[in-house]
Amino acid sequence: MTGLDPSTDRIVELAAIVTDWDFSIIDSFEVVIAQSSEALSKMPSAVTKMHTKSGLLAKIPSGIAEQDAQKTLLDFISKHFPDNDGKVLLAGNSIHQDRRFIRKYWPEIDRKLHYRMLDVSAWKVVFMNKYNLKPTKKSSHRAIDDIKESIKELKTYISHIKD
């Protein structure tokens, strides 16, 4: 996103990964979303630096239209969840923030998402404070990398649970 406030900021990158319940990757995709120069000019300096360092900022002007990104995601959901009434479980780190943007800008996608979410951040709070377990992350600040790191992190937490 260009920032953390859905009332003023916009989505600039979209990625999705479908996994099985062993958290093995089945399929994935990623796109950069074009946004206006006005939207980009409103980015806080920390976000501009982050997106510059990751290489994302340079890709935004040649990204795809936001409505095309939404259609791609809707097609991806339909492909992988045809018998699930399209209700997809959103998972990852700090996904409540992602969901705020989805509700604001992509209500059709929001309707496809289950009301339950798998927030890896909640697991992080427990494992950091109860077990002093702090997985390291690269924090590339690219959507697909962030999802892959969330999957790896969740696998780490689950590996500490005894059957």
Mind telling me the catalytic residues? Answer: 115
d(CA 111, CA 141): 27
Q: Which amino acid is at 122?
A: A
Distances (CA, A) of 10 to 14, 51, 98, 113, 154: 11, 13, 11, 20, 28
d(CA 148, CA 138): 11
Helix (H) or strand (E) holding 16: strand 13-19
Helix (H) or strand (E) holding 31: strand 25-32
Q: What six digits make up the tokens of 70?
A: 């939404």
Q: Which amino acid is at 25?
A: I
d(CA 140, CA 9): 20
